[in-house]
Amino acid sequence: MKRQLNFTLNGRQIGLLVEPFARLLDVLRDDLDLTGTKEGCGGGECGACTVLLDGESVTSCLVIALEVEGKSVLTVEGLSNHLELDSLQQAFIDEGAIQCGFCTPGMLLSAKALLERNRAPSVQEIREGLSGNLCRCTGYERIVVAVSKACAKET
């Protein structure tokens, strides 16, 4: 029996009916067609499904959709302003921090949460801050450099 869910998504108020056991990941991808958030493991271990929930990074595969009632969710689709990329997105492109792109949305959101917590993280803090997001292609180095440069730009 579906239940009503109202929350703020990428800055807009929305409401829809969801299955009681649906994960936030399923609601985003299947009900709302926001397929930028990826499923890599379904167990909260790989970080591909990372979104921001009231500014905190969470693995959306472990969040029951109804839990976000009244809260605010930010997905990769909400990072850019129309066609204008956010500084993290631009830095990823400039520094070669993307290969297959599957971990990229989750990495961007984790990096965003990190920079909100800590305006000028050290390289070590960036490495640790991103250690919950697995990447098999890039070896992480370009991603760490991109995050470093993005926060240098902001300050």
Partner 1 sequence: MERNYVGKSHPRIDGPIKVLGAAKYIADLKLPNMLYVKILRSPHPHARIVQIDLSQAEKLSGVHAVLSGREFPQKLGLYLVDRPIFAVDKVRFVGEPVAAVAATSLRLAEQALKLIAVDYELLPPVLDLPTALADDAPLVHENLHEYSYIHNVFFPAAHTNIANHAKVRKGNVDEGFRVSDFVFEHTYHVPQMQHVPLEPHGAVAQMDMTGKITVWTGCQSPNAVRKLAAVAFGLPEGRIRVITPQVGGGFGGKAGIGIEGIVIALAMRVAPYPVRLILEREEVFFGTAVRQGLKARIKTGYTKAGRLLAQEAELLWDGGAYTEYGVNIVRAAAYSSAGPYDIAHVKTDSYCVYTNSPVGGPFRGFGMGELHWALEQQIDMIAAKLGMDPVAIRELNAARDGTTNATGEVLRDIGLDKCLAETARLIGMDTPPTEKYRGKGIACMVKGPSTPGTAASAAFLKINEDGSVNLSLSATEIGQGMQTVMAQIVAEELGITPELVYLNAPDTDYTPYEWQTVASRITYSTGNAVRRAAADAKNKLLALAAEKLGALPEELTIVKGVIGRQSGQGAMTSVKELSLGLSLPSGAGLGGPIMGTGYFIPDGIHGMDPATGQTPKVTSHWTFGAQAAEVAVDVETGKVDVLRVAAVYDTGFVLNPLLALGQVEGGIMQGLSVALYEELRMKGGRVENASFVDYKIATAAELPEMLIAFVQTPLEDGPYGARGFGEHTMVPTAPAIANAIYAAVGVRITDLPITPEKVLAALRELDKPRQLL
Indicate whether 24 belongs to the interface with partner 1 (CB under 8 A): no
Closest Cα to residue 143, out of 83, 99, 81? 99
Residue appearing with tokens 């290969």: 99
| Footprint (CB under 8 A) of partner 1, residues 84-103 | 85, 89-90, 92-94, 96, 98-103
User: In this structure, what token pair is assigned to residue 68?
Assistant: 């976000």
Contacting residue, 9, 76, 115, 150, with partner 1 by CB under 8 A = 76
Q: Which residue has the tokens 């009632």?
A: 69
Q: Which helix (H) or strand (E) holds 74?
A: strand 72-74
Interface mask toward partner 1 for 41-60; x: CB under 8 A? xxx-xx-x------------
Residues 17 and 88: their CA atoms lie apart, in Å, by: 33
Strand partners, 59: 50
> Any contact of residue 28 with partner 1 (CB under 8 A)?
no
- Using CB under 8 A, which residues numbered 116 to 135 contact partner 1? 126-128, 130-135
By beta-carbon proximity to partner 1, the closer residue of 6 and 41 is: 41
Query: How far does CA 87 lie from the centroid of its chain?
Result: 15
- For partner 1, which is the closer residue by CB, 6 or 17? 17
Q: What backbone torsions phi and psi does residue 90 show, to the nearest 5 degrees?
A: -65, -40
Total of residues contacting partner 1 (CB under 8 A): 54
Residue 104 engages partner 1 in binding (rule: CB under 8 A): yes
Q: How far does Cα 92 stand from its chain's mean position?
A: 14
| Residues at the interface with partner 1 (CB under 8 A) | 29, 33-43, 45-46, 48, 75-77, 79-80, 85, 89-90, 92-94, 96, 98-105, 108, 126-128, 130-144
